[in-house]
Amino acid sequence: MLGFNGNLKVWVATAPCDMRNSFDGLSAMAREKLQSDPLSGAAFVFTNKKRTLVKILYWDGSGLWVVAKRLEKGTFSWPADAEGGRGKIALTPTALAMLTDGVQLRDGCKRPWYEPRE
């Protein structure tokens, strides 16, 4: 079962990626671009140039998960690498949930396109 707890390490690729990739391609990106082991138990988050699609690669101990979310309207508020040059930043699981729920991480405000259904 897919579940993220408070101890989960989350690595976000700051540069856009080719979102045609799935298990093998995203694993290779985690190893080569993020210099991390995709089987480490961390979640690796990737987006496209338009910031309308997010894919998460996650190893749960028995297999890899690839989870995707595509926005029908608007874009994700993508964090930038403040230190520059690393190509990745760390997020907390709470910040990841905020990012995928349409909250601007910088201001803590919902994006203008975000209107949850009741």
Query: 92 vs 25, which has greater pLDDT?
Result: 25
Sorted by sequence, the CB contacts under 8 Å of residue 118 that are 6+ apart come out as: none
**pTM for this structure?**
0.84
Return the domain boundaries, the chain. Answer: 10-100
pLDDT for 57-83, tens place per residue? Answer: 999 999 999 999 998 888 888 877 666
Task: Tell me what pLDDT residue 112 has.
Answer: 55
* Token pair listed for 45: 């988050």
Distance CA 52, CA 74 (A): 7
Task: Tell me what pLDDT residue 67 has.
Answer: 95
- SS3 assignment, position 66: strand
pLDDT for 89-114, tens place per residue? Answer: 998 888 888 888 877 766 655 555 55
Tokens 């961390």 belong to: 42
For 60, which DSSP code? -
> What mean pLDDT do residues 4-15 have?
87
